[in-house]
Amino acid sequence: MANVSYKDAGVDIDAGAQFVENIKPLVKSTFDSNVLGGIGSFAGAYELPGGYKKPVILGATDGVGTKLKLAIDSGKFDTVGIDLVAMCVNDLICNFGTPLFFLDYYATSKLDIAESTAVVKGIAQGCLYSECSLIGGETAEMPGMYAPKDFDLAGFAVGIAEKDEMNRLEHVKAGDMLIALPSSGIHSNGYSLVRKLFFEKLNYKFDDLIDGKPLIDILLEPTRIYVKTFKKLKHKINALAHITGGGIIENLPRVLPENLQAVVQKDKIKILDIYKLMSSHIEEVEMFRTFNMGVGMILVVSEENVDFVLENSDGYVMGELKEGKKEALVI
């Protein structure tokens, strides 16, 4: 009887080893002075920074969703890693956490070294944008679990915060202003609807031009990372909400106490052109409860701090908080 190898079963150990060698310099480029050791150990080690009175560790995990399918089908793998980091660290800062380090999980049917290296390069770039270190990850080659050429991503971000700064509800009050930080695009939510609209209903092709830009480039524009903006404005912000799945309507109330409502002026929202195109085929209420509509993060700011925040960001005023039922009204 002929012998059978792991490679015969669909798992290439040599390819995995080469992949690790390829990503070592990418991973190392994200290290700061708190990283202990290097890539290749059983666990990543990170020394907690000093200067905190009551330090609290925060964790956030997320994926990229079916935006990955567009990357796979188009063969463009250089941006989804940034998305992966963004979706995690943008959540952390909403609890006033400063990102410290990141880990990733990459699972595929068969490891393609060039593709996987491009993905990790994006993850490393996202970590550099977030000023956090990529200290570990897992690559799983699982034939039979995934269709050929398919892969999935999961990310895990760990941050640190002062315990006394985490409860933002006590800082939020009637009269506070809502400042929108623009999104870079659709970010990483609603892509099942995006794919159905453009490629099933409207029969677009990846290279079809929208305002002179290939559609696939618009759709794969990576999620904006707001960490540096948060660090710069932290002491002028009462609260902040990451606008992900559920849009403004579902995410903004998450930072409100029970007695306040957010009133958003719809005509002040700088809606992205891609959403204007999509809104010709999707009901407005569905758009606002699915997509960010061009607003990636909303800052709740005391009136006296508005000018400072506007001068030190690309934000704009989109509404205010009033007494009333806890909800977000777009009027």
Q: pLDDT (tens digit, 9 = 90+) per residue, 268-288?
A: 999 999 999 999 999 999 999
Lowest mean pLDDT among 3-12, 98-107, 123-132, 265-274: 3-12
CA angle 55, 90, 166 (to 5 degrees): 30
Written as six digits, the tokens of 167 are 């409860």
- Which H or E run contains 56? strand 55-62
Which tens digit of pLDDT belongs to each residue from 152-200? 999 999 999 999 999 999 999 999 999 999 999 999 999 999 999 999 9
Confidence of residue 264 (pLDDT cuts 50, 70, 90): very high
Which tens digit of pLDDT belongs to each residue from 212-224? 999 999 999 999 9
Written as six digits, the tokens of 270 are 């700088």
CA 69 to chain centre: 17
pLDDT at 316 over 70: yes
For 309, the 3-state DSSP assignment is helix
Q: What is the mean pLDDT of residues 281-301?
A: 97
Residue whose token pair is 């290296």: 117
DSSP letter, residue 267: G
pLDDT score recorded for residue 265:
97
pLDDT at 14 over 90: no
Q: What is the mean pLDDT of residues 93-109?
A: 96
Contact between residue 124 and residue 30 where contact means Cβ atoms under 8 Å apart: yes
Q: Rg of the Cα trace of the chain? A: 21
Q: What is the mean pLDDT of residues 294-321?
A: 98
Residue whose token pair is 């085929």: 281
Q: Distance between CA atoms of 184 and 181, rounded to whole angstroms? A: 10
Q: Distance between CA atoms of 78 and 121, rounded to whole angstroms? A: 7
Q: Could you tell me the domains of the chain?
A: 13-165 (3.30.1330.10), 169-330 (3.90.650.10)
Q: Distance between CA atoms of 84 and 35, rounded to whole angstroms? A: 21
